[in-house]
C-alpha cells in the first residue's frame, strides 16, 4: 500500500512540475524522464528505474500503459527518432527500445521481459572500409494490434509485424511477419497461423 502511495505521489509531483493537464501517472523509484519528452492519454505506470530519452514529446503512449522495471526508451538520436505505443500497451522488465528510425506499436500489445527493439542497423557491405565509417540505416519498426512478444525477443530495423502475431521467446525477427502468424527461432520463421 505504501509503495503504491509513493508511486502516485512521485507521479503527481512530476505532473505538477512538467505538465498542465492532470492524468493518472504512477512513477516508481529513480525514474529518469527528460523534461517534456513524452505524452500520454490515460493511466501510465512507470515502474522503478525506467528511463526515457527523447525530445519534444517524441515518445507517446495511449490509454492504460504499463512499463516494467529497468526499461529504456531511447528516442534522442535525431529529429526522425520517435516512439509511439497505442492503447493497452504493456512491457515487462529490462526491455530496450532503440528508436533511431522510429518504433510504432499498435493497440493491445503485450511485451515480455528483456525484449529489444533496434530501429537502426550498421552498414557493412564494403569489406575494405571500416564498418564504423559506412554509416547506418534507420527504416523503423512497425507493430500491428493485438501482438504478444515472448521474453528475450529481438526485433531489428526495417521489420513490420502484422496484427495478431505471436513472437516466440528468444526469437530474432529479421523479416516482416504476416497477420496472425506465430513465429520463432533465429532467424524467426513462421511456425503456424492463429485460427
122 tagged catalytic:
yes
| Residues 44 and 28 sit within 8 Å (Cβ to Cβ) | no
Q: Which three cell numbers stand for residue 77?
A: 538520436
Q: Which of 40, 57, 118, 122 is catalytic?
A: 122
Cβ-in-10-Å burial (0-12, 13-18, 19+) of 107 comes to middle
| Residues 165 and 181 sit within 8 Å (Cβ to Cβ) | yes
Q: How far apart are CA 75 and CA 64, in angstroms?
A: 21
Count the Cβ atoms, other than its own, within 10 Å of residue 13.
Answer: 12
Look at phi and psi of residue 180 and say left if phi exceeds 0, alpha if psi is from -120 to 50, else beta: left
| Residues 168 and 185 sit within 8 Å (Cβ to Cβ) | yes
> Which residues are catalytically annotated?
122
Amino acid at each position: 500500500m505504501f509503495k503504491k502511495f509513493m508511486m502516485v505521489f512521485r507521479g503527481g509531483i512530476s505532473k505538477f512540475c512538467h505538465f498542465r493537464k492532470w492524468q493518472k501517472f504512477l512513477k516508481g523509484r529513480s525514474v529518469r524522464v527528460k523534461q517534456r519528452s513524452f505524452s500520454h492519454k490515460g493511466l501510465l505506470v512507470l515502474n522503478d528505474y525506467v528511463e526515457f530519452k527523447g525530445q519534444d514529446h517524441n515518445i507517446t503512449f495511449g490509454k492504460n500503459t504499463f512499463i516494467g522495471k529497468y526499461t529504456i526508451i531511447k528516442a534522442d538520436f535525431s529529429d526522425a527518432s520517435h516512439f509511439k505505443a497505442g492503447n493497452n500497451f504493456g512491457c515487462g522488465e529490462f526491455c530496450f527500445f532503440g528508436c533511431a528510425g522510429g518504433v510504432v506499436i499498435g493497440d493491445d500489445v503485450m511485451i515480455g521481459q528483456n525484449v529489444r527493439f533496434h530501429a537502426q542497423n550498421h552498414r557493412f557491405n564494403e569489406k575494405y572500409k571500416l564498418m564504423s565509417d559506412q554509416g547506418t540505416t534507420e527504416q523503423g519498426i512497425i507493430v500491428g494490434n493485438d501482438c504478444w512478444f515472448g521474453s528475450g525477443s529481438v526485433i531489428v530495423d526495417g521489420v513490420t509485424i502484422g496484427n495478431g502475431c505471436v513472437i516466440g521467446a528468444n526469437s530474432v525477427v529479421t523479416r516482416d511477419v504476416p497477420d496472425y502468424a506465430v513465429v520463432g527461432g533465429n532467424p524467426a520463421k513462421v511456425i503456424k497461423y492463429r485460427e
